[in-house]
Amino acid sequence: MAETHLSPRVIPDRLRSRSSRVLKSWESLLLVVAILIFALNSFASPYFLDPWNLSDATFNFTEKALIAFAMALVIISGEIDLSVASIIALTSTAMGLAVTMGADTPVLVLVGLGTGLFCGMVNGLLITGLGLPSIVVTIGTMSLFRGLSFIILGDKAYTGYPDSFAYFGQGYVWWVFSFELALFAVSAVVFGVLLHKTNFGRSVYAIGNNQTAALFSGVRVGRVKFILFLLTGLMAGIASICLTSRLGSTRPSIALGVELEVVTMVVLGGVSILGGSGTIPGVVLAAFIMGMVTFGFGLLNVPGIVMSIFIGALLISVIALPILWSRARRRMAH
């Protein structure tokens, strides 16, 4: 006992075998939860297991997950972006404005991507250029971006999107696999490779763990963060294209409160809200779990606002449980 007190951090000669680490990881826990929810849903409703029904269920999370991938990188780097839902609103409004000027689908997509990138650039410049805290800046741009949509749209709505534009939110690539689901899969791979297999990804972790140390070891902290906010804006723009295409209309209140769901998805996926750790596979699983749960509730006729209580409670308990768990283990160890 006394010895362990003298050297509390004993480094083992050999790391524990890979299989036991995999079993204990947050991601495998998520996988078990996902399977459980899937099973529960199929018992709760006889309509759940229909392939087309499952395909519909994916629309519940694909758009949010697109943003969650970029948000995961932002949060791992120790920052946060609360303005994503407002970027969706402003992007959608810009596309609606373009439609009234007679723009066709390719132009609309360019307008969408451009507006998203522009919003991300505004966030990035304020945060890295002026060195302001991201939480306040994005609270500010959250009301600024949505406020601009309100100024442009007021209490009106844009409709009348061209037929070909409907493909992004309603089209299918093959059989039951929608365009959005395919985009989700491609983005998951792209962001997974970016975070886990590139120098850029390593520098994101380095910044999140110790920004000063990262700076002194040659990571261009400002540039990396700027790119992350740019990416988040771009992904929010893409999500806005999908959502607008799926709904076929734009109101300034579109995607209200989505930032909360995106952050919940990222945190549920095992990304530390304090920065420095997290994985893309975790976020993918979390997206599936949240989508399946909300869709299951929908089949059981649970109102949307009750689901939001669930999301809020999920967000808090997902962070609280590991803390309680590690405390209980420490107490057992003593």
Partner 1 sequence: MAKLLKNREILLVFAIVALVFLIALRFPGFVAPSNLARVYNDTSILIILALGQMAVILTRCIDLSMAANLALSGMVAAMINAAFPGVPIPLVILTVVALGAVLGSINGLLVWKLDIPPIVVTLGTLTIYRGTIFLLSNGAWINAHQMSDAFKALPRAQLAGFPVLSWLSVVAVIAVYLLMTRTQTGRAFFAVGGNPHAAVYTGIDVGRTRFLAYCLSGALAGLAGYLWVSRYAVAYVDIAAGFELDIIAACVIGGISIAGGIGSVGGAVLGSLFLGVIKNALPVINISPFAQLAISGTVIIIAVAVNARTEKRKGRVILKKAEAV
Instruction: Tell me the two tokens of residue 157.
Output: 């709505």
Distance CA 4, CA 101 (A): 73
Nearer to partner 1, 136 or 193 (CB): 136
Q: How far is the CB of 308 from partner 1 (least distance, A)?
A: 5
Q: Which residues bind partner 1 (CB under 8 A)?
A: 80, 126, 130-133, 135-137, 139-148, 150-151, 154-155, 210, 212, 252, 257, 260, 263, 267, 273-274, 303, 305-306, 308-309, 311-313, 315-316, 319-320, 323-324
Residue 138: which of 79, 52, 202 has the closest Cα?
79
End-to-end CA distance of the chain: 10
Nearer to partner 1, 47 or 325 (CB): 325
Residue 219: which of 199, 244, 194, 192 has the closest Cα?
199
Q: How far is the CB of 226 from partner 1 (least distance, A)?
A: 17
Q: How far is the CB of 277 from partner 1 (least distance, A)?
A: 14
Q: How far is the CB of 22 from partner 1 (least distance, A)?
A: 27
Beta bridge partners of 178: 172
C-alpha angle 258-227-168 in degrees, rounded to nearest 5: 50
Residues 48 and 41 sit within 8 Å (Cβ to Cβ): yes
Instruction: Tell me the two tokens of residue 66.
Output: 């697109």
Nearer to partner 1, 182 or 319 (CB): 319
Nearer to partner 1, 1 or 323 (CB): 323
The backbone torsions φ and ψ at residue 295, rounded to the nearest 5 degrees and listed phi first, read -70, -40
Helix axes 280-299 and 258-268, enclosed angle (nearest 10): 120
Nearer to partner 1, 106 or 133 (CB): 133
Nearer to partner 1, 45 or 211 (CB): 211
CB atoms within 10 A of CB 290: 26
Q: How far is the CB of 316 from partner 1 (least distance, A)?
A: 4
Q: How far is the CB of 122 from partner 1 (least distance, A)?
A: 9
